[in-house]
Amino acid sequence: MCGIVAYKGHRNCHSILLNGLKRLEYRGYDSAGLACLRNDGQLSITKRRGKVKELEEALTDKNCDGIGIAHTRWATHGRPNQVNAHPHADQSRKIVLVHNGIIENYLPIKKFLISKKIKFKSETDTEVLVQLIGYFYNQGKMDFEKAVRAALQRVDGAYGIVIMNTDYPDMMIAARKGSPLALGIKDNEFFIASDISPIIKHTQQILYLKDSEMAVINGNKYTIKSVLKDITMPKNIEQIDYKIDDYDKGKFKYFMHKEIHEQVDTIANTVKGRVKSDAVLLHGLSEYWDEIESADKIYITACGTSWHAGLIGKLLIEKFSNTPVFVEYASEFRYNHTLVDNKTVVIAISQSGETADTLAAIKKANDYGAVTVGICNVPGSSVGRETDCGVYTRCGHEVGVASTKAFTAQIGILYFLALKLASAKGEISKTSLKRHLDYSDAMKKVKTVFRQEKLIEKIAKKYKKATDFLYLGRGMNFPVALEGALKLKEISYIHAEGYPAAEMKHGPIALVDKNMPSVFIVPKDKTYEKIISNIQEIKSRKGKIIIVTDSKNKVLKELANDLIIVPRTNHYLFVVLATIVLQLLAYHIAVSKKLNVDQPRNLAKSVTVE
Ligand code: F6R
C-alpha cells in the first residue's frame, strides 16, 4: 500500500516532501520516512514508526536541497516499526529506494543475495529489491539505470518505486508496474508521487507512468524508458485542471463526523445538473451510452463499502431496468472465471479511485472488451483514467478512513443510472420516472435525521461495552446492514456481522444472548411483517433489539429496547437515511471508547496493494 512522494529540483526538500506525505497519509500511517542527499553529498535517512507528525518532529537535519524521496507505510511484509519503514538502502548505502506494492518472489531473491554475502536489516520485500539493484550496480558493475532495469526484470509482483544513488547526485529514477506513479513537471523541477494530490499545487503538467515504464530524471532533463529494454517511450503529458482543497475539520473533532454531517449537501451535489424533472442526464456516460443501454448484462465490481453500494445498485438496476446485474468483489473478479465480453458493462465503484484490486478488475474487463464505467470520487485518479467513461460522485475530499459520504453519493449515482436505463429501455412510465426524479423533498429529510443524533449518542453509550453486534435487514437494507456492521468494526473494533434478517436463523442466532445487541433496519415496506417475525425470534432469546425504522407504531415500540425513527420518504431513499443513522451509531460508539475514528488501527484510506 503506502504513499510515495519524491522531489528533484533546487529547493529544500523537507517541506515539499512532508507536505506531500501528509496528503498521502490516507494510504497508510503506521510508519514514515524520508531520504535526501545532503548538500555535502552524504545520504540522510530519517524514519519513524507512527504518523508523519512523528517523522516531522524527528527531522532535524535541514541541510537537504535538491533531491529527496519519502514514504508513508501500511505494513505488508514486516512489522510496522522503524527498521521496516522506508526508504531502504542497499548494503553500500549508496542506493536508496521507496516502494509501493509487493515483490512476490522476494524470498528466492533474498536467499540468492544472502548467498552473495549481502546482509539484510529489515523484514521487508522492499529491501530485497534495493539490495538486488545494489548487487547489480556494485558487483555486476552496471551503470545505475542498467542496474535498476536488470533488477526490475527479475521481480514478480507490483511496484511503484523511486530510487536515488549517491554516485549520481543529479539523477532520480522512478518505475512502475501495477502501482500508479505520477510525474509532475515544472520548468527545472520534478515531483513524483503515488497520486497527484501532493503534486498538483506545484504543477498541473502531469505524466502518468504506464506499466513497465521508468522515468529517468538527469539534471534538468528527463526521459521515459521501458523497463523491459533500453528504449525510449513517448512522453504523454496531461494538463490536469484540478484543485485540491486544504483539509479542514471545521467545528468537528473528527473528519468522519464532519463527513457524516456533510451528507446534507453532498447527496444533492452528486445529483445536481445530472437530473432534469423528466430525464436523467449523466453526461459522463454519453459517449458509451448506446453500448451501456444495449448490454446483455452488467457486472459491478468494488471493494469494502463501495462493494456494499454495488449490492444496492444491483437491486436498483434489476428492479427498474430488468437488466441482469452481478456484483463481485474486485479481488475475486480479477481471478474468477467471469462471463465478461463486449456485450457486458462493468461498473467499477471506488471512492479513492486507487484501490489496487478494483484497478486490476478494470484492466481485466478492458482486456475482455467490456465497456468499463467508473463511479469514483477523486478526479484524476486511476479509476477515472482507466475506465472508458464514468461519473464522479463529487462529494468532496473524504479524509476519514471509514467511508461515509462517498457511500451515499454512490447510491445516488446508481439510483439515477438505474432510472436512466429503465427509461431508455421503456421499462418505466413517464409519470413514475417523474415521481422518482422529484427528489427535492426527500433530500430535505436527510437533514432531519440529524435531529436524532443525541438519541443515537445515548444508545451508543449504552452499548459501547458489547463485544458483538448483529445488523439485520432485508432487500436493499441487507447491504445497509453489512455497511453498518463494517462501520462499527472498523472504528470501534467491536465484532459485528451484517445478515439478511431472515437468514440469521440459519446460524448466527446461536450467538444471541442477553448481552448481544441486534440492529434491525425496518422500513414499512413489503417485508415489514416478515421482519417483525425475525425480531420476535431474537427477542424470545433475550437479545437486545435496536430498531431503525420510518414507522412510528406500538408494535415496534414494544419490541425495541431502543428505537430510532427517521422520516418517511420514497423508500429508495430510506436506505440513505438508515445508513446515516448507522454511521452515527458507529461513530458515537467509537468516540465513547476514546478511539481515533479518523485513523483506526491497521487500516488505510486507500488499499493500493492486492
Ligand atoms: C470502509 C472503507 C473501505 C473502502 C474500500 C474500497 O469504510 O472505506 O472498505 O470502501 O477499501 O475503497 P475505495 O472505495 O476507495 O475503492
Is 445 inside a domain boundary? no
- Quick one: pLDDT band at residue 546, thresholds 50, 70, 90? very high
What angle (nearest 5°) sits at the alpha carbon of residue 385, between those of residues 239 and 354? 110
Compute, in angstroms, the gap from residue 310 CA to the centroid of ligand 1.
12
Judge whether residue 61 has pLDDT over 80: no
Q: Whose CA is nearest to atom 5 of ligand 1?
A: 304
CATH number at residue 85: 3.60.20.10
Is 247 inside a domain boundary? no
Expressed as residue numbers, the domain containing 139 is 2-239
All cell numbers assigned to 379: 478526479
Kindly state whether residues 68 and 197 are assigned to the same domain. Answer: yes
Judge whether residue 26 has pLDDT over 80: no
Taking the C-alpha atoms of residue 543 and residue 520, their distance in angstroms, rounded to an integer, is 12
pLDDT digits (tens, 9 = 90+) for 336-376: 998 999 999 999 999 999 898 999 999 999 999 999 999 99
Radius of gyration of the chain (CA): 26
- Look at residues 416, 364, 406, 403 and name the one whose alpha carbon lies nearest to residue 386: 364
Best mutation site among 303, 350, 603 for ligand 1, i.e. most ligand atoms within 8 A of its Cβ? 303
Kindly state whether residues 50 and 166 are assigned to the same domain. Answer: yes
Mean pLDDT, residues 172-187: 94
CATH number at residue 307: 3.40.50.10490
Q: How many CB atoms lie within 10 A of CB 434?
A: 14
3-class secondary structure per residue, 428-481: CCHHHHHHHHCCHHHHHHHHHHHHHHHHHHHHHHHHCCCCEEEEEECCCHHHHH
All cell numbers assigned to 522: 425496518
Mean pLDDT, residues 12-26: 89
**Is any atom of ligand 1 closer than 6 Å to the C-beta of 355?**
yes
**Is any atom of ligand 1 closer than 6 Å to the C-beta of 402?**
yes
Atom of ligand 1 nearest to the CA of 352: 15
Is 286 inside a domain boundary? yes
Kindly state whether residues 374 and 493 are assigned to the same domain. Answer: no
Instruction: Provide the whole-model pTM.
Output: 0.85
pLDDT digits (tens, 9 = 90+) for 85-140: 999 999 999 999 999 988 999 999 999 999 999 999 999 999 999 999 999 999 87
Mean pLDDT, residues 291-311: 97
All cell numbers assigned to 445: 429529510
C-alpha distance from residue 169 to each of 95, 138, 226, 306, 459 (Å): 11, 17, 22, 44, 60
Mean pLDDT, residues 317-345: 96
Contact 254, 591 (CB under 8 A): yes
Helix (H, G, I), strand (E, B) or coil at 14: helix
Share of the chain above pLDDT 90, in %: 77
Is 380 inside a domain boundary? yes
Kindly state whether residues 270 and 292 are assigned to the same domain. Answer: yes
Helix (H, G, I), strand (E, B) or coil at 392: strand
Q: Could you identify the residue written with the cell 505520477? A: 182
All cell numbers assigned to 597: 475514528
Q: Could you identify the residue written with the cell 472488451? A: 369
| Confidence at residue 245, expressed as pLDDT on a 0 to 100 scale | 66
**Is any atom of ligand 1 closer than 6 Å to the C-beta of 597?**
no
Q: Whose CA is nearest to atom 11 of ligand 1?
A: 304
**Is any atom of ligand 1 closer than 6 Å to the C-beta of 483?**
no
pLDDT digits (tens, 9 = 90+) for 516-525: 999 999 999 9
- Look at residues 269, 375, 313, 257 and name the one whose alpha carbon lies nearest to residue 572: 313
Q: How many CB atoms lie within 10 A of CB 221?
A: 9
Is 443 inside a domain boundary? no
Is 254 inside a domain boundary? no
What angle (nearest 5°) sits at the alpha carbon of residue 185, between those of residues 179 and 189? 115
Q: Whose CA is nearest to atom 9 of ligand 1?
A: 304
Compute, in angstroms, the gap from residue 606 CA to the centroid of ligand 1.
7
The last residue of a domain, from among 416, 438, 460: 438
